[in-house]
Amino acid sequence: MFVRIAAFILLAVAVAFPAAAREKEKDASPAAAPPLFKVVGDNGVVYLFGTTGAPAPDRSWRTRSLARAIDQSETMWFEAPVDDPLAMETANRIFTERGRAKEGVPLSSLLDEETRNALDAAATSSGLSRATLDPLRPWAAFVLLSGRLHEGVEGEAVDAALLSEARGRGRSVRYLFSIEDSLGLLTDMPAETEKNLLAGFVRDFTRQRDGAAAAFDAWKSGDLAGVDAAMNEELRTGAPDAFTRLVTGRIGALAERIGAILNEPGTAFVAVNAGYLAGESALPEALAARGYAVERILE
């Protein structure tokens, strides 16, 4: 369950470049590979790769450029330690302690009729029931349902495959955020914001599930507009307060963390959710605004 939420939070949901970079992008052939950027600082180099938490049917997404980026990197960074048993214990403790609704205030009582119906439909299609979700806070119901979005689809998630490869090749594995940092974005969310987050998610649940294959293909081909539409658009328009907190704010934090990595000598590979690399005010743009040279690798 928490692997999925880490992939969401640690999410996603972004590439607008500086003007010069945008003009260059218009003249370039469309990328036929997942989004990969090279970021150069005064001391270090970062290969920034946008991942997806969706199960991949095969390994054809692993391009030569991606392989070269990993070969050249001494350290591989991921968003959070989602495979660490102690971190998962922490996640489950937070979920248990902070994910319960106030006594006598069931989740469904907070929602309008349209959203209740959408919640019931999403729960039913996920093998759950309103009785399972009613004792939860909106953010916790969102976590539970997001973990079921790709249920039954075969294949290893891209972020999980990269983490396995990093460990198998003896790379130094590090993390940009802790589980507490990541879940704190949800647990400390204003009540109205977390309600809007759940409402937008359940209303879009069927579209996301039915469009999962097309969204994966957009990511695999490097179609950033398609990635933005699949990962960001519904959250940005349906729950803009949640988008600001989960995406815009997270991009700023990511730019700061990556800046710190670039201050150290050496080459690092940084994997983040592709949603941060698509749309306006995305992570590559944020890094360019800080004075780093940002180049998209289009092959």
Q: What is the pLDDT of residues 260-271, one digit of tens each?
A: 999 999 999 999
Pick from 4-8, 48-52, 176-180: least confident: 4-8
**Better-scored residue on pLDDT, 297 or 53:** 297
How confident is the model at residue 20, as a pLDDT? 30
Question: Which residue carries 């199960």 as its tokens?
Answer: 55
Pick from 3-7, 121-125, 233-237: least confident: 3-7
Number of structural domains the chain divides into: 1
| pLDDT over 70 (residue 295) | yes
CA dist., res. 148 & res. 237, Å (int): 23
CA dist., res. 242 & res. 258, Å (int): 23
CA dist., res. 244 & res. 217, Å (int): 26
Per-residue pLDDT of 208-257, as tens digits, reads 888 888 889 999 999 999 999 988 888 898 899 999 999 999 999 999 99
Q: Which residues face 295 on adjacent strands?
A: 38
pTM of the model: 0.87
Query: Using an 8 Å Cβ cutoff, are 210 and 122 in contact?
Result: no
Per-residue pLDDT of 137-149, as tens digits, reads 999 999 999 888 8
CA distances from 218 to 73, 258, 275 (A): 26, 25, 12
CA dist., res. 275 & res. 229, Å (int): 9
DSSP string over 117-182: HHHHHHHHHTT--HHHHTTB-HHHHHHHHHTTTTTT--SEEHHHHHHHHHHHTTPEEEESS-HHHH
DSSP string over 59-74: STT--HHHHHHHHT-S
Which structural domain, as residue segments, surrounds residue 264?
A: 2-296
CA distances from 259 to 9, 177, 220, 222, 270 (A): 20, 14, 27, 24, 12
Return mean pLDDT, the chain: 86
Pairing of strands 266-273, 44-51: parallel
CA dist., res. 179 & res. 146, Å (int): 17
Pick from 163-167, 182-186, 187-191, 230-234: least confident: 230-234
